[in-house]
Amino acid sequence: MSTTPQTELWRRAAQTRQATALAHPNIAFIKYWGNQNDNLRLPANPSLSMNLASLHAITTVQFDDSRPADSLTINGQPVTGPGLARVSTSLDLIRAEAGLKLPAQVTSASNFPVGSGIASSAAAFAALAVAGAAAAGLPASGSSLSRLARRGSGSASRSVPAGYCEWLTGSDETSVATSIAPPEHWDLRDVVVVVSQAHKAVGSTGGHSLAATSSLQAARVAGAADRLAACKAALLARDLPAMGAVIEEDAVIMHGVMMSSRPPLYYWTPETMAIIQATQQWRADGLPVYFTIDAGPNVHLICDAAHAAQVEAAARQIAGVQRVLVSGPGGAARLIDR
Ligand code: PMV
């Protein structure tokens, strides 16, 4: 999309107080659910994910003293209220670090359905962190950008580095994501089976604060580091059966926490369960594919590139499937030339 080097784009952004960034959403193989500190979005457990190359958000931030206040447009629609307030909170962090007092105009667009369990907030807040920091004249430091993204949406921390990323627990300074393998390490596919494009009744920010009300959350958190170690080892060894077993277990444990929270959160629909059962059957028939599910009813089928077309075709046969998106591993959040 852009051949201008990042250093040149960062230099120009600081000069013009304007920047445009692109970031991919990510699919978690080991899930983040619940915070140690809701305000700072310090996660209860470490997590691991893959960026999704075919999906992206593109966000432009322009600091402008002729404006009365921050403004936000998403996919062509002006956004006010809580949506704008959340973006302004991220901008305030950037402004405080840069010693800047200017309001900003933010425009964002994504090429995938928002609010349907395809972590749109991850891509949006990663792109906002990178564009905002660049336009404010902050340095291009991966860890501070991941931290800024995390403060907007936890999983956004993992959309800042490239490829396969691990996000650590820790303090406000140390809880950041780093790449454990570049996209080229393993040509996996996420075949996203969309059964609903509706907005979730309870979004992930509300869901995280309910996690501790489930008596299963302590056990989930206690086992997360071991599941992450197993997933990371399998990923680095490109061992899909080993990785698949642990990602399915981790997703189901998270949904157990969700369903046993007070009040309970049931994200699954009958279509979700049908796809889980179909996945088990496909595997029994020799097709190597594993599922994971975020905070929504849609199912992410993980397989290698060689089997993606077969998995996609099989998924399209299931009643209630609205669309299927396919993505390989994506790169880091970055500035683009506009
Ligand atoms: O970053 P948030 O607050 O949208 O939370 C994301 C939570 C899950 O998608 C369910 C899991 C994850 O690790 O991405």
Q: What is the pLDDT of residues 19-29, one digit of tens each?
A: 999 999 999 99
By most ligand atoms within 8 Å of CB, the mutation choice from 204, 272, 293 for ligand 1 is: 204
Cβ–Cβ < 8 Å for 290, 243: yes
Report the percent of the chain where pLDDT is more than 70: 98
The helix (run of H) or strand (run of E) holding residue 245 is: helix 240-259
CB 119 less than 6 A from any atom of ligand 1: yes
**pTM (2 decimals)?**
0.96
Beta-strand pair 71-74/104-110: parallel
Distance 118 CA to ligand 1 centre (A): 9
- Residue 289 CA, chain-centre distance (Å), reads 21
- Ligand 1 atom nearest 155 alpha carbon: 1
Q: Catalogue the E-assigned strands of the chain.
A: 18-23, 26-30, 35-37, 42-43, 47-51, 57-63, 71-74, 77-79, 104-110, 164-167, 177-181, 188-194, 290-292, 299-304, 323-327, 334-335
- Ligand 1 atom nearest 208 alpha carbon: 3
Cβ–Cβ < 8 Å for 163, 50: yes
- Ligand 1 atom nearest 30 alpha carbon: 13
- Residues 201 and 132: their CA atoms lie apart, in Å, by 29
Cβ–Cβ < 8 Å for 332, 53: no
CB 205 less than 6 A from any atom of ligand 1: yes
Sign, Cα dihedral of 158, 163, 164, 170? negative
Residue 13 pLDDT class (50, 70, 90 cuts): very high
Q: Supply the pLDDT for residue 5.
A: 96
Q: Which residue has the higher pLDDT, 265 or 199?
A: 265
Report the percent of the chain where pLDDT is more than 90: 92
Distance 337 CA to ligand 1 centre (A): 29
Q: Supply the pLDDT for residue 276.
A: 98
CB 35 less than 6 A from any atom of ligand 1: no
Sign, Cα dihedral of 120, 122, 123, 128? positive
- Residues 148 and 141: their CA atoms lie apart, in Å, by 11
Paired with 194 in beta bridges are 323
Sign, Cα dihedral of 46, 182, 121, 337? positive
Residue 205 pLDDT class (50, 70, 90 cuts): confident
Residue 6 pLDDT class (50, 70, 90 cuts): very high
- The one-character DSSP state at 275 is H
Q: Supply the pLDDT for residue 119.
A: 63
Q: What is the pLDDT of residues 292-313, one digit of tens each?
A: 999 999 999 999 999 999 999 9
- Residues 335 and 112: their CA atoms lie apart, in Å, by 20
- Ligand 1 atom nearest 121 alpha carbon: 4
Name the CATH superfamily, with its identifier, for domain 188-327: GHMP kinase, C-terminal domain (3.30.70.890)
CATH code that applies to domain 5-185: 3.30.230.10
The helix (run of H) or strand (run of E) holding residue 115 is: none
- Residue 166 CA, chain-centre distance (Å), reads 12
- Residues 167 and 155: their CA atoms lie apart, in Å, by 8
- Ligand 1 atom nearest 295 alpha carbon: 10
CB 294 less than 6 A from any atom of ligand 1: yes
Q: Supply the pLDDT for residue 117.
A: 53
Cβ–Cβ < 8 Å for 228, 47: yes
Q: Where are the domains of the chain?
A: 5-185, 188-327
Distance 284 CA to ligand 1 centre (A): 30
Distance 338 CA to ligand 1 centre (A): 30
Q: Supply the pLDDT for residue 334.
A: 98
Assess whether pLDDT exceeds 60 at residue 337: yes
Tell me what the pLDDT averaged over the chain comes to: 95
Distance 207 CA to ligand 1 centre (A): 9
CB 153 less than 6 A from any atom of ligand 1: yes
Mean pLDDT of 184-197: 94
By most ligand atoms within 8 Å of CB, the mutation choice from 294, 298, 300 for ligand 1 is: 294
Assess whether pLDDT exceeds 60 at residue 115: no
By most ligand atoms within 8 Å of CB, the mutation choice from 24, 32, 157 for ligand 1 is: 32
Q: Supply the pLDDT for residue 74.
A: 94
Cβ count within 10 A of residue 129: 34
- Ligand 1 atom nearest 153 alpha carbon: 1
- Residues 26 and 118: their CA atoms lie apart, in Å, by 8
